[in-house]
Amino acid sequence: MLDRLARRQFVKITSAFVTGVTAAVSAPLIDILRANAASQAWESLGGVLSSGPDVSSWAAGRLDVFTRGTDNALWHKWFDGTWSGWESLGGVLTSDPTAVSWSNGRIDVFARGTDNALWHKWFDGTWSGWESLGGVLSSGPDVSSWAAGRLDVFARGTDNALWHKWFDGTWSGWESLGGVLTSDPTAVSWSNGRIDVFARGTDNALWHKWFDGTWLGWESLGGVLRSGPDVSSWAAGRLDVFARGTDNALWHKWFSGSWSGWESLGGVLTSSPTAVSWSNGRIDVFARGTDNALWHKWFDGVWRP
């Protein structure tokens, strides 16, 4: 009788112990799994894209997204508290567009035209027409700005090197910055006089060069990219780089004093991603999905939605 009672007590105590340990282990594990699931989520913003998108921001809470439509024209959608519909801005694009805002209410958009030259239009209260800036591009362009009135445009040339053209009151000619690119380049300025440029190399890794008074050489940052990268910066010394991986998911690598490893943010992308930061600690990322619609996710301390 005492043996049976002792056994029952042992079973109860053991059961309670196991239940307690399971609960203690499961609670943080469930939180981790939930956080991981949330980091993989995306929202659809519709549309039918025939290229990757690009995004700019002129102020906190403002986003302007551009893409090529099925008619090869430039299409535009913006967020200013709520999302607008899509508007056509014309043109005939043969690449992803790229855009940057150098001040509140100003946007400069670039793309490759049917003649493989660089074409430009801008918004400064109203939209301008398109102007040709020449060159012979073998990729889509990308643009950065380190101050009001300054633009730096990058593209791959017919020799697969990185080429650069800038505006600082007037347009410069084109200069070669070398390298062998297998994607569109991407660029961002985190402060006056600083530019960071990234592209995919012949080994499909991420390659980086930067300007800080003079141009530095190329460095490899590893990874295996299935698309061109895109980069954003929310503060001096901070860089966030995004690319599509071999699994077609979004992958992310960042610099904040030193380079992180790569992390997966999920999704199934059919284009290069694009990203912008409108304030410290905020990133908005966009890409084309398998349905050719625009998809969006954002970071404001955690990845959403």
Q: What is the CATH number of the domain that holds 152?
A: 2.120.10.70
DSSP 47: -
- Cis peptide preceding 305, ω within 30 of 0: yes
Q: What is the pTM of this model?
A: 0.89
Q: What angle do CA 171, 51, 238 make, to 5 degrees?
A: 65
Domain shared by 83 and 7, yes or no: no
Percent of the chain past pLDDT 90, that is, above it, reads 87
Domain shared by 28 and 89, yes or no: no
Domain shared by 217 and 133, yes or no: yes
Which pLDDT belongs to residue 39? 67
Domain shared by 207 and 246, yes or no: yes
Q: What is the mean pLDDT of the chain?
A: 91
Domain shared by 287 and 193, yes or no: yes
Start-end of H helices in the chain: 2-39
Domain shared by 29 and 64, yes or no: no
What average pLDDT does range 148-164 have in this prediction?
A: 98
Domain shared by 113 and 243, yes or no: yes
Domain shared by 191 and 299, yes or no: yes
Domain shared by 193 and 165, yes or no: yes
Amino acid at residue number 116: N
**Range(s) of the domain holding residue 297:** 45-304
Which pLDDT belongs to residue 252? 98
What average pLDDT does range 124-133 have in this prediction?
A: 98
Domain shared by 89 and 163, yes or no: yes
Q: What total number of domains does the chain contain? A: 2
Domain shared by 34 and 64, yes or no: no
Which pLDDT belongs to residue 23? 42
Domain shared by 113 and 224, yes or no: yes
Which pLDDT belongs to residue 24? 42
Helix (H, G, I), strand (E, B) or coil at 22: helix
- Where on the phi/psi map is residue 221: left (φ > 0), alpha (ψ -120 to 50), or beta? alpha
